[in-house]
Amino acid sequence: MITKEDVLAFEKTFTDKKTYRRFLCIKLKIIDGKTQAEIDLLQRHKGKVGIYDLHQALNALVGRPVIFQTVYNLLNRHDWKAKVPRPVHPNHNDEAQTLFKKTS
């Protein structure tokens, strides 16, 4: 029988991101008791939650439909930002930037 400690100890051995994500599915099932649908939702969003996901969760929690502004007000009240700018473009090239600066 695999225990929680075994799973947590095994987690530290991964270096490959793809294999680690597969392991997280097993970890969520064994330790957290998540269903396959919940794990699929987490994998689809890669751990990120969007405003629509929060809206659906709030609707389920309250038991009735709420307007989107309620979610924005909740995020604002807790100083959360709906969108965060990325620090660097994923396809940036430092060499091309320095070359451009030299030639312009």
Q: What is the 3-state secondary structure (H, E, C) of the chain?
A: CCCHHHHHHHHCCCCCHHHHHHHHHHHHHHCCCCCHHHHHHHHHHCCCCCHHHHHHHHHHHHCCCCCHHHHHHHHHHCCCCCCCCCCCCCCCCHHHHHHHHHHC
Going from the first residue of the chain to its last (104 residues), give the mean pLDDT of each consecutive group of 10, the final group possibly shorter.
77 77 77 78 63 83 90 83 71 88 82
In a domain, 74, yes or no: yes
Q: Which of 51, 45, 47 lies closest to 73, judged by CA?
A: 51
* Total Cβ atoms within 10 A of residue 27: 18
Q: What is the pTM of this model?
A: 0.38
32: left (phi over 0), alpha (psi -120 to 50) or beta: alpha
State residue 83's pLDDT score: 65
10 and 22 share one domain: yes
In a domain, 66, yes or no: yes
Expressed as residue numbers, the domain containing 71 is 49-84
**Total structural domains in the chain?**
2
State residue 64's pLDDT score: 92
8 and 35 share one domain: yes
